[in-house]
Structures are given as C-alpha cells and as structure tokens.
Amino acid sequence: MQFSKRMEALQTSVFSSLDIEKEKMIKEGKEVLDFAVGSPDIAPSKKVMQALLEAASDKTCYMYSLKDTSEFRTTVKNWYHDRYQVELDENSEIMSLQGSQEGLAHIALTVCDEGDIVLIPSPSYPVFENGPRIANAQIYEMPMRKENDYLIRFDEIPETIAQKAKMMIISYPNNPTGATADDAFYEELIAFAKRYDILVVHDTAYSNLVFDGEDGKSFLSYPGAKEVGIEFNSFSKSYGMAGARIGICVGNAQAVSMLKKLKSNIDYGMFLPVQKAAVAALTQDQSCVKQTCMQYQKRRDLLVEGLCALGWYVEKPKATMFIWAPLPDGYTNSEEFALSLLKECGILVTPGSAFGKEGEGFVRFALVQPEEIIEKALEILKEKRFLG
C-alpha cells in the first residue's frame, strides 16, 4: 500500500512510545510511577457526574446533536462573562470541540494552504506542530527561553517570516514550562498580529491552574484580541473531565464559523449528555476549581522542594500541572535521561525533546500522582542515589 506524504511528517506520539516502555516494565513485574502523561487523577464533582448519568439515561439524548444546544452556548457565554469579563455572542462566537486538542489539530485546515507558514512556540505541546503539518503548512518555531521568562520575543521573528505567516499558536499558562504572560506581552501580541494579518490561536487550557494567589486571564479580555484571534479552552484540567473530551473555541466570529463549517464535514456534534455535564461544570459552585488548583500547588511544592533537597535544583512553575526540570548535572540528552530514570528507578517522565528543539535539556513531570506517590518517588531517588 502507498500512503500520503503528509504521514511522513508525523511521528508516533511520544506519549504512546513512553507507554510502550512502561508496559514492558509492568509485564516484567516492576512498578512504574507515571509522571509522563498529563491525564488528571482528580475526578469531576458529583454534580457533573450526576448530570452525565441522568442525561445518559435519557433515550432522547442518543440522536445526533448536529450543533451545540442553546443551553450549552448560553452557559459558556455567561461563564466567560463571569470568569474572564469577556462578552461573547452565543450564536456566532462559541462552539464546542471534541477536546481542545481536536480543535488544535484541525484549525490550520481552515486557515492554511499548502506551504503557508504557521508560527508555533518551542517548546510546545506536540499538536501545535502536528496540526499545521496535517494541513501541509510550514512551521516556524518561536523560541521560549528561560532567560526571557519563557516569553516569545516577537522582535526576533524575521520580517520575511512574519509577512508570510497565516497563523500563530500561543499558549499561556504554558505547557510544558509552566510560565505565565503579563499584560504587556498580550498587548504586543495583538499589535503584532494586526500588523501582519495573522490569526492568533490561543490555548488557555490552564488558566484556572495559576498558583500563589494569582488569577489566570483570557486572551480575549485584552482590547482588540477578538479582531485577530480565537481561544481554545478546556474542561479537562479545571473540571477533571479529560476523558469526556470536551473543549470550546470562542472569539473571532469568522474563524469560529470556518471551524464550524469544517467540523460539519467531520463529525455530528458533541454527545448531548457530555454537553449536559459541561453545563453542570460551569454552573456549579466554582470553589471546586480553586480546590483543584490548590491540590496541584501542594503537589508542586512537595515535588520541587523534594528534588531540590536531593540536589536537583528545579524552579517552582507559576501555573499548570507540570514541572519543567532542567537535566541534572552530568546529563545532556533528555530522552536518554528519561529512559535511564525509568529503567533504574521506575519513574516515568517526558523528555523535553518531545516538545521541540528548545525543549532539549529538560524533562517534564506531570503532577498527576497523589502526594504519597510523589513522596515514594523522592524516596526511590534517594535510595538509588540516582542524582549522586
């Protein structure tokens, strides 16, 4: 058989590859402490689960939904107003996604023709690159470096690249670095996008997981943002609904319309019980979100302080559910280090190289294990003297 050339540009997901190594060890009877995949272990509230159960028991909820219910759209509109102080038109500026990753995988198909340039951060979540590659777009990586607090420097983007770019993907709070962006950054971003007529796609999956008393914002809360961009938001991390696969795309009406048009040729809309569960998530007492954030903050503090005590000096991230750790002294290759850590200690992390060339020299811990497992991992590192 012959397959499309676009598949040559895609690699098997690093998370799938890591899972293969994990399963090998488990079959050998070895324990693996998994800090690799950011799959939340904090369950949804009882109200969310009850809403899903009740809707799933309603036989009328098994037809094609074809479009988002008015209840869902109104709820998102009200939530964005209350949570982010952003006004949205529920008919033209809101749509559901089968998880925000699905939207990130498809959006370039609505914007880019073959050879068009998409600007993505580096390091970044793999779908930021793979989505545009599926659309046969060209990738230009915008470095995010520690010395710049992991903020993209727009003045470093060559003029010739900026003029040809059709779309740029931005994500703060950032996965994998845990960095946040200030008002000045977003103001510069919007001005840059207007100057070069570039669609901004902002991934804000972690805006509710900002630590130390700070509050996450929406890109759309900045003047002019809706003129140049859209925002993808997620129910996965804030509400523990990762497996339910529901996200939203909001913002620029033209861009939302094009994505709706594309998806009308791909799927038949979001399963109605999942829409009901999403409504329950957004209308419930939002203290559950703060509790989730505090739980991740406690895990962050425990892991970072424990690693530092062992001589592995790691900074506390400002947000997200990840620790972005520079390789310990004596190591230069993140994939080799991750494999060694797995085989010698049974601790699974993601090599930084999986997030782009600027990710080399780091590994990512996902804070998806309870405190007792974090303490166990730290004890193993100490007993094995893995860090010297």
pLDDT per position in the chain (388 positions), as tens? 888 888 877 776 666 777 788 888 899 999 999 999 888 899 999 999 999 999 999 999 999 998 999 999 999 999 999 999 999 999 999 999 999 999 999 999 999 999 999 999 999 999 999 999 999 999 999 999 999 999 999 999 999 999 999 999 999 999 999 999 999 999 999 999 999 999 999 999 999 999 999 999 999 999 999 999 999 999 999 999 999 999 999 999 999 999 999 999 999 999 999 999 999 999 999 999 999 999 999 999 999 999 999 999 999 999 999 999 999 988 999 999 998 999 899 999 999 999 999 999 999 999 999 999 999 999 999 998 888 7
Total domains in the fold of the chain: 2
Are residues 369 and 225 part of one domain? no
Structure tokens at 306: 């424990």
Cα separation, 132 vs 111, whole angstroms: 9
Are residues 328 and 193 part of one domain? no
Are residues 62 and 34 part of one domain? no
Predicted local distance difference test score (pLDDT) of residue 349: 96
Are residues 266 and 208 part of one domain? yes
Residue finishing a domain among 215, 250, 283 = 283
Are residues 92 and 33 part of one domain? no
CATH number at residue 111: 3.40.640.10
In degrees rounded to 5, what are phi and psi of residue 342?
A: -65, -50
Predicted local distance difference test score (pLDDT) of residue 38: 86
Residue finishing a domain among 236, 256, 283 = 283
Are residues 267 and 317 part of one domain? no
Are residues 322 and 260 part of one domain? no
Q: Do residues 209 and 176 make contact, with C-beta atoms less than 8 angstroms apart?
A: no
Residue 150, Ramachandran bin (φ over 0: left; ψ between -120 and 50: alpha; else beta)? left
Are residues 179 and 252 part of one domain? yes
Q: By residue range, what is the domain housing residue 85?
A: 46-283
Are residues 368 and 344 part of one domain? yes
CATH number at residue 359: 3.90.1150.10
Are residues 111 and 36 part of one domain? no
Within 8 A by CB and 6+ apart from 290, the residues are none
From the CB of residue 359, how many other CB atoms can be counted at a distance below 10 Å?
22
Instruction: Print the SS3 string covering the chain.
Output: CCCCHHHHHCCCCHHHHHHHHHHHHHHCCCCCEECCCCCCCCCCCHHHHHHHHHHHCCHHHHCCCCCCCHHHHHHHHHHHHHHHCCCCCCCCCEEEECCHHHHHHHHHHHHCCCCCEEEEEECCCCHHHHHHHHCCCEEEEEECCHHHCCCCCHHHCCHHHHHHEEEEEEECCCCCCCCCCCHHHHHHHHHHHHHHCCEEEEECCCCCCECCCCCCCCHHHCCCHHHHEEEEEECHHHHCCHHHCCEEEEECHHHHHHHHHHHCCCCCCCCHHHHHHHHHHHHCCCHHHHHHHHHHHHHHHHHHHHHHHCCCCCCCCCECCEEEEECCCCCCCHHHHHHHHHHHHCEECEEHHHHCHHHCCEEEEECCCCHHHHHHHHHHHHHHCCCC
Predicted local distance difference test score (pLDDT) of residue 14: 67
Cα separation, 326 vs 6, whole angstroms: 33
Are residues 86 and 231 part of one domain? yes
Residue 119, beta-bridge partner list: 140, 168
Are residues 258 and 177 part of one domain? yes
Residue finishing a domain among 283, 312, 347 = 283
Predicted local distance difference test score (pLDDT) of residue 15: 66
Predicted local distance difference test score (pLDDT) of residue 288: 95
